[in-house]
Amino acid sequence: MYTIAVIVVLYFYVRLGMWVARKAASRWDRKRIKWGVRIAVALAFILIPTGDWIAGRIYFNHLCETEAGVKVYQTIELPDEYWNEDGTPKFYDENNGNFTLPVEKFYKVESKTTNHPFGIKEHRAFILDINTHKIIGEKPWFQYWGGYILGNFPPNNISIGCGNNWSEFVKKQFTQTNKKGGVSHGSN
C-alpha cells in the first residue's frame, strides 16, 4: 500500500513539472528559448527533491575528512592484567564495543547524538579522567542517511558512516605497561 502511495505522488509530481514547464515555455516565441525554459524547469523539479542528497553527501565527506576518527590527547598505560598474552586487550569486547576500564581512574562516556543539516548524525565517545574531568581521548563518528527522501522512505533508509573504528581507538588510546615498569609499544 505504501508503494502505491509513493507511485501516485511521483506521478502527480512529474505531471506538475510538465505542466509548469509548458506554462513557462508558452510565454516565449522562439523555439530555442522555449526548450531552454523547459530544461531549466525540469532541472529545478529534479533538484528540489534530490538537492539535499547532493549537498549532504558533500558535507558528509567534509566531516569525515576533517573531524571523524580518533583523537588522543594522552595515552593510557594499563598494566599486564588488562592484556592477553598475545597483546590484545582484555578490557575491550570487540563484538559489542564495551570497555572494562579501571573504575578508580577512567571511565567512558558516550555523548548524545548531534543532528547536522542534511540528515547527518554525529556521535562522540570520550574517555575522561575521573579526578580532573579532563578529556583524555575522543572518537567522533558520523552517519549519513541520504537526504530527506532517501532517509525517510523505505527501503533506502540505510545509513553510511565514517570514523566508527573502535579497534583503532583502542590501539591508539591504550598502551601496555610491561612487568619491568616500562611501556611496551610493540605488543598491541
pLDDT at 110 over 70: no
pLDDT digits (tens, 9 = 90+) for 169-188: 888 888 888 655 445 544 44
Looking at per-residue pLDDT, the higher value among 153 and 127 belongs to 127
Tell me what pLDDT residue 162 has: 92
pTM of the model as a whole: 0.69
Tell me what pLDDT residue 185 has: 46
**Is the peptide bond between 140 and the residue preceding it cis, with omega within 30 degrees of 0?**
no
Q: Are 13 and 41 in contact (CB under 8 A)?
A: no
Grid-cell match 558535507, residue found: 59
pLDDT digits (tens, 9 = 90+) for 58-97: 999 999 999 998 999 988 888 888 888 888 888 887 777 6
Tell me what pLDDT residue 156 has: 59
Round to whole Å and give the CA distance between 76 and 135. 12
